[in-house]
Chain A
Amino acid sequence: MSEQMSPERMSPETQTTFPRHVRHGSNSGQPVSRRDGRLKVTGAATYAADNHPEGLLHAVIATSTIARGRVRSLDVEAAKAHPGVVEVITPANRMPLHHDPNEKMPPFGFRVEVLQDDTVRYVNQPIAVVVAETLEAATEGVRLLAPRYEEEDARTGLDNGLRHEAQSVGVGAPGTVSFGDLDAGLKGAARVTEGDYSTPPQYHNAMEPHAVVAEWDGDTVTIDMPNQALRMSAASYAAYFGIPAENVLIRSPFLGGGFGSKAILNGPQILGILAARQLGRPVKLVLTRAQMYGPVGHRGRTWQKLRLGTGDDGKLTALHHHSIGATSSFDDFVEPAANASLMLYESPAIRVEHEGLRLDIGTPGPMRAPGEASGSASLEIAMDEAAEACGMDPLAFRLANYAETQPGTGKPFSSKALRECYEQGAAAFGWAGRPLEAGTMRDENGFLVGWGMGTAVFPCPQFPAEARATLRADGTALVETGGADMGQGAWTALAQLAAESLGLDLDKVEFHSGRSDLPDGGVAGGSGHTASAGQALSNAGGDVIARLTELATGDPDSPLFGAGNIGVVAAEGRLHRRDDETRSQSYADILARAGQKELVGTGKSGRDPASAEAFAMHSHGAVFAEVKIDPNLMQVRVSRLVGAFAAGRIINPKLVRSQYYGGMIWGISFALQEEAVADRRTGRIMNADLAEYHVPVNADVPRMEAILVPEEDPRVSPLGIKGVGEIGVTGTVGAIANAVWHATGIRVRNYPIRIEDLLRRR
């Protein structure tokens, strides 16, 4: 088999060429290196915990070691007596908040634990905060608290958790959706395949632990923290502390990864801000790695059941996807896993249902590809099983069930180049000629070899966002939006879009971002940041150019006089007559002649409601995986991964390819490695660290190829940008599971796939 591999391990940068999509002089569409690269490789990029204001106190949270019960006692005296300890904050003396932490705060509010009482609802819940002059003293103070508990039995699984119908899942999606007649579809099927699947609790584990440095000045506060949703968070913090939103300044220039965990408010960060207010001194609070397993969200565990009816022609007659999602005892985030079945395959009857299962755990939250990752991980296996039952090639089976319109609703897709993704991915992988039967391929070393595939899909939202562009007298520009770069490259891609809209080279554009006092950059989540903040920036630039055009075309001495708004092109710092590009005037000249020091434009983003109503909008992709398995030890290695993705307009292929690689590697991790294992007796997570909670190391990463399939979509937004941050996870997980089956003939339906699963069932 190995000779079929393409000899090139690296996907060449030149592999896909793009139209420049440009007015000239633009940098958009180009693989620009990240603008913050220099800061990052020299250690000069500042993350929240790097800040150290004068007079800083260190806060360390004490966290519960039981999953359920109440704190009976804390030895506050001992902790306070320790040299350097300034204060111990407990429910007894915690300053009041203006918003009840047991009440959710819209839009993405969660109930948080900020010492409102002595109840313990999960392991690692904050139960006190020790504030001291040094980190050491605060840490020692925590140890000295020696909490005693009244412990109740922890509810840790299906057998003792509380099941309930989930009215809504994820962040507000309906819990049950049904199209067509499921029973009729199943009855009329030539065959029905069904299976039970499960996905484990996973933790974001961004490299940067959650941190907050807060400094109050009267009723205003400056907060350094990694944050994926600056304005929204600022408003929420303001509500907790009873101050106007504009009194909260969040600075978050760089996030050391977020993956969803830094989009949602959490108790420890509020406590850090609170400690600073209560003590009247700046406070730094940084979570330890272990403390990140509880109060800052995770991907909730799921138990899923899928039933697929197929006809003799290999077409689906019914698709039933049921998912139970673990959630906390006090909040309602249920992983919207089954909704993955609403996006991908055509079927006359589809029913998705969710139940919640209340456990004594921290509330789950969105984690890179929430819903789609866990749901498609199961759906793609189920599709493979159905293909097997039909005696069809997995790709042919998916093509037979290709949804030309959105399943159920029949809405047209705004664009969908999935067929091209299948074609290009399969060709690059060498899928043709794959034996249908499992367990037939071996490599030259005798390892079992298997090939599997999966379809990738993720919605492409466009959130409200705002931006400002200021053209300066020297012809350079300042563009501003409170965006968040958690690694995806916002500092670069957003600047590229701004430069394009202004007709300026990238180096003429100064870009300010990462602060809540800038125009609202919206949420860096849902794979929608470039589409959202980028559109706002682009519109702001467009606004500047429109105003500039007005100045120039109305100026009798301008070479552009009388050209009218429609008649000019902005490029390289000049406006040109469209009908005669030799006639042009520089921006600086236009401003000088108009006697203006600067010209300010603003822009907003938000999806056109008519378009949103009329079309289904998703990014799509196809992932092909090869695994090798040692037949004696059943160790599994992913040896090749090819993904082909169509996600609208690509602003920076270098950044985008990295997002795809990253997503696909998260897929490897989901399929084979990640799992938080809780002790069933205590609810404590036994592997709450980076030694035992396995994320991939370099050597786990196979030869990879990410193909950028061109796609134009004027309906998602004027810029035609979809999203790329999460989709890579979705097809990959199932592709790997299917490859494992193809290598061994063993269907593992529980993630992560373990060696034991493969040994036991031989």
Chain B
Amino acid sequence: MSSAIRSSIRFLLNDQTVELSGFAPDLTVLDWLRIERRLTGTKEGCAEGDCGACTVLVGRMIDGMLTYESVNACIRFVGSLDATHVVTIEYLNRPDGELAPVQQAMVDLHGSQCGFCTPGIVASLQALWLSDPEPGVKDVERALQGNLCRCTGYEPIVRAALAASKIEPDEDNDRLVRAREETARKLIELADGARVEIDHPEGKTFIPASADDLAEIYEANPKATLVAGSTDVGLWVTKGMRAIAPVIFVGHLTDLQTIEETEEGLKIGAGVSYSMARGAILSQVPQLAELWDRLGGEQVRNMGTIGGNIANGSPIGDTPPPLIALGATLTLRKGSARRTLPLEDFFIAYGKQDRAGGEFVESVTVPAVPEDAHFAVYKISKRRDEDISALCAAFLIELDSDSHVATARIAFGGMAGTPKRATHVEECLIGARWGWTAVQAAQAELENDYSPLTDWRASADYRMRVAQNLLTRFFLETSGAPARLDTSEPLMMEAGE
């Protein structure tokens, strides 16, 4: 580790370099922008990452490339901004002050009504525009998943996004493109490899220099809160009013952001965001595509990490069920000691994980789907997008040459206090001929595996019934059943089609 310790963070805000010290560990980016900097174009609609009115862009170096991502300023902490470029709505117009293509299209096509969600929507669409030269309706929908519009002008907004995509970003129409090289140079310069420690009456903020440094700090401060994407911890603060200090930020640690192909499978660093992992994981497990694109909204996927989703231990986290079914393993680190365990063993009980004080999730290794195996994952939620799962189911089975079930790994979220395997169902299926009779028998076994609870997302009966029906659907799909409502083409079709 580096011996240098800084007592301030440094980052870019629009066209300025900012140096900040002495801030609270739970100071949100949104409060800082609106109250301290009086940059009030960015709005607060919910303060919990649901509505997207607070969306700003954060640029960071990913694999040597300056990449701008949409994020929720309301649940992101200022302490996570070191060596990034924060871009707000006030800075998205063209260098000559005229409206940028996305903004102009939003005006021309009537994508703004009351206008309160508009800055966030412009920011989300700007991120899409910068990164995707030819988005289809589905891509636009994905980019907008985390933005609510209560005037419900969605159709004009989609049209605006498609219209803007006809104009390529260039140095004349976009400030970020114009300053790209200089910005990248500055960000590299700002990331000087020093540890940062910020003191504040509410508690201390640590920004480790590296994963090794993290191990050291965490071992010395085992009560600290680790903050990666803050898509959950953010709500502890804004909604739960919890004190979280001391805080160790880990989202910037590039040595936790590696994705490696190993003999055991794809080894994903705990700090890899859903967005960063998307390409690699979907090329290895294409069946995860629908789930991956329905995790939160784009802002949440840009911030949230797979490691955080696991370490958090939520019974309704969306990645554990498929990862358990795939046989993923987890590597934990404490100091310099590491241990690896099957992911399913990590979840002990509701709110309780197999993680010692000062120990953190370092990586998760996801084996490939065995050749000829059937694998599927289903997220069931009330709302099509941006909704917490009522339940999440993952099925993996391998058949022998005689169409008998050789292996079965089945896991559910939302059916118990933890993400959990359906061992009775698995036992019932193994050795049986993969057919309707076996499926029916296995469905009955679900009741031995789970006693789900009733809440406002779903009743216990519904959860059980759907869990059973999902097994039916999985069976039908292995026998060539047609598409699902959620994966069928977008209901909105391409303009001019």
Interface residues of chain A, those whose CB is within 8 Å of chain B, are: 7-10, 33-34, 36-47, 49-50, 52, 134-136, 139-140, 143, 205-209, 254-259, 286, 288-290, 444-447, 485-489, 628-630, 632-633, 635, 637-640, 654-655, 657-658, 661-662, 665-666, 669, 673, 677, 686-687, 689-692, 694-704, 755-756, 759
Contact = CB atoms under 8 A, between A and B. Distances in A.
Contacts, number: 256
B35 interface: yes
Nearest to B105: A41
Interface in B140-157: 140-141, 144-145, 147-157
A38 B99 contact: yes
Contact of B112 (A41, A445, A690, A701): A41
A692 B46 CA distance: 12
B114 A256 contact: yes
Nearest first, the 7 closest Cβ-Cβ pairs linking A and B are: A43-B41, A256-B116, A487-B114, A40-B115, A43-B89, A37-B107, A487-B113
26 contacts: A38-B107, A42-B41, A43-B90, A43-B119, A44-B90, A207-B116, A207-B149, A256-B116, A257-B116, A445-B483, A447-B485, A487-B113, A632-B473, A658-B113, A661-B153, A687-B456, A690-B50, A692-B388, A692-B456, A692-B457, A696-B383, A698-B147, A698-B385, A699-B384, A699-B385, A759-B465
Interface band, chain B:
35 or more
Contact of A487 (B90, B151, B481): B151
Contacts of B44: 49, 209, 286
Interface string B36-53: 001111111111101101
B152 A34 contact: no
A128 B7 CA distance: 39
Given A50-B34, A254-B115, A692-B456, 10 more contacts: A207-B45, A207-B114, A259-B150, A632-B469, A638-B491, A673-B383, A689-B239, A697-B384, A697-B385, A698-B147
A655 B93 CA distance: 24
B31 interface: yes
B71 interface: no
**Of B50, B112, B386, which is in contact with the most chain A CB atoms at under 10 Å from its CB?**
B112
Interface in B58-102: 88-90, 92-93, 99, 102
A46 B40 contact: yes
Contact of B485 (A637, A662, A666, A756): A637
B384 A10 contact: no
B106 A41 contact: yes
Nearest to A652: B110
A444 B472 CA distance: 20
Contact of A704 (B155, B470, B481): B155
Contacts of B157: 698
A37 B115 CA distance: 8
B492 interface: yes
A696 B490 contact: no
A132 B44 CA distance: 20
B485 A207 contact: no
B99 A50 contact: no
Contacts of A677: 456
Given A34-B107, A658-B153, A756 B114 contact: no
Contacts of B465: 759
B112 A661 contact: no
A346 B220 CA distance: 79
Given A9-B494, A143-B241, A289-B47, A254 B141 contact: no
A42 B115 contact: no
Contacts of B382: 673, 694, 755
- DSSP class of B's interface residues: helix, strand, loop or mixed? loop
- DSSP class of A's interface residues: helix, strand, loop or mixed? loop
Contacts of A258: 114
Contacts of B261: none
Given A38-B99, A704-B155, A257 B48 contact: no
A288 B40 contact: no
B165 interface: no
A208 B40 CA distance: 13
B377 interface: no
B127 interface: no
Contacts of B406: none
Nearest to A257: B114
Nearest to B144: A698
B364 interface: no
B114 A41 contact: no
Nearest to A677: B456
A690 B495 contact: no
Contact of A42 (B24, B40, B89, B114): B89
A703 B492 contact: yes
A696 B384 CA distance: 9
Nearest to A728: B152
B488 interface: yes
B44 to A, nearest CB: 7
A705 B145 CA distance: 22
Contacts of B107: 33-34, 37-38, 41
Contacts of A694: 382-383, 387
Given A45-B115, A208-B43, A256-B116, A630 B148 contact: no
Contacts of A444: 482
B303 interface: no
A633 B466 contact: yes
B152 A666 contact: yes
A387 to B, nearest CB: 27
Contacts of B114: 206-208, 254-258, 485-487
A690 B45 contact: yes
A673 B99 CA distance: 36
Contact of B43 (A256, A655, A687): A256
Contacts of A47: 40, 43, 116
Contacts of A630: 484-485
A33 B113 CA distance: 11
Contact of A691 (B50, B141, B154): B50
B156 to A, nearest CB: 7
A698 B459 contact: no
B118 interface: yes
A37 to B, nearest CB: 3
B332 interface: no
Contacts of A637: 384, 485, 491
A628 B35 contact: no
A205 B148 CA distance: 11
Interface in B465-481: 465-466, 469-470, 472-473, 476, 481
B117 interface: yes
A255 B114 CA distance: 6
A10 B155 contact: yes
